[in-house]
Structure 1
Amino acid sequence: PATTPSQPAPAAEATPAPPPAITAKAPEGTCGDQSGIPAEERIANTPKWSLASEQDNFGFDVYRGESENGEFVKLNKDPILGAGTTDETQKYQYRDDSIDPCKDYWYYVESISTSGVHEKMTPTFKAPAKRSPRTETPAG
């Protein structure tokens, strides 16, 4: 006689509830334009990237947007120079000190070949706000 393999009993629902979302609150402080502050004292985002090797790489442009799918603007006036052709790992960064420290920003990096071809090199990534707006406590 044919036997049917016995099915294991369904497991009881033992999935723990997900932990509550924890959002790190940025320190409170002044928001807005930082142009009145010396550049070295401004709060900045610093996108960083590295390449294990490069082939005919002239350089990079860094783009910033105020939303993930919004309009992006090129930040650097001149390209950030690449290493040309190399098998050695190269590390790069760009200091963006023109931010409002209370806003989230999104960035991506575009590579520029020695023949002038521009190509998006990184995914779009988020830099969360560095500060939360200062809250005034009522006198009382």
Structure 2
Amino acid sequence: MTSWKTGMMAMALLALGELAIAAKPAVLSWQIKPNPDVFGFNVYRATSRTGPFLRVSKELVRPKSSASDSAQNTVRFEDADVESGRTYYYYVDVVRNSGLSERLTGVVAKTVD
């Protein structure tokens, strides 16, 4: 589990890529390799490292192709429902075409500017 201070870009290695968190709104982004079995992603947030975590992505988050590298896709999620000065904890689940989901990331902390 890694924590980042206000105003710093956050990076955490994932099974499929890297997760970055920017300042307010909290913007999560990660790179993935194309995988036909991946349908999308769900993002979860809590105000405590131990939860409870609630899904904050109202719809499945889908990758957008990157013009700079066709072999990679960028996945991005903006969490605008955050308050300055508070620390939030996030994790991401990958949702397979079969409907099964599994944890993609560990818990990442972000203090919002």
Instruction: Specify the alignment match of 1:118 in structure 2.
Output: 101
Matched residues in 2 for 1:57 and 1:112: separation?
6
Matched residues in 2 for 1:82 and 1:61: separation?
12
Q: C-alpha displacement at 1:25, in angstroms? A: 6.8
Q: How big is each residue's C-alpha offset from its partner over 1:38-66, in whole Å with a ceiling of 9 and x where there is no partner?
A: xxxxx310011111232411100100011
Alignment of 1:101-116 (within 5 A): 101-116=84-99
Q: What is the aligned counterpart of 2:31 among 50, 63, 68?
A: 50
Question: Where do 5+ consecutive residues of structure 2 fail to align?
Answer: 8-23, 65-69
Matched residues in 2 for 1:78 and 1:48: separation?
16
Secondary structure, counterpart of 2:27 in structure 1: coil
Residues 71 and 25 of structure 1: is their aligned pair in 2 closer, same or farther, counting only changes over 3 Å? closer
Instruction: Specify the alignment match of 1:21 in structure 2.
Output: none
Alignment of 1:1-140 (within 5 A): 43-82=24-63, 88-130=71-113
Please list every run of at least 4 consecutive aligned residues from structure 1 whose deviation after the TM superposition is greater than 3 angstroms.
none
Report if aligned partners of 1:44, 1:101 keep a CA contact under 8 Å in 2.
no
Q: C-alpha displacement at 1:81, in angstroms? A: 2.4
| % identity of equivalent residues | 24
Q: How big is each residue's C-alpha offset from its partner over 1:85-116, in whole Å with a ceiling of 9 and x where there is no partner?
A: xx921111111000011200011110100000
RMSD value over aligned CA atoms? 2.1
Report if aligned partners of 1:47, 1:107 keep a CA contact under 8 Å in 2.
no
**Quick check: which has more Rg, 1 or 2?**
1
Q: C-alpha displacement at 1:127, in angstroms? A: 0.9
Question: Where do 5+ consecutive residues of structure 1 fail to align?
Answer: 1-23, 27-42, 131-140
TM-score normalized by structure 1? 0.56
User: Partner letter of residue 45 of structure 1?
Assistant: A
TM-score normalized by structure 2? 0.69
Q: How big is each residue's C-alpha offset from its partner over 1:52-85, in whole Å with a ceiling of 9 and x where there is no partner?
A: 23241110010001111121110111111248xx
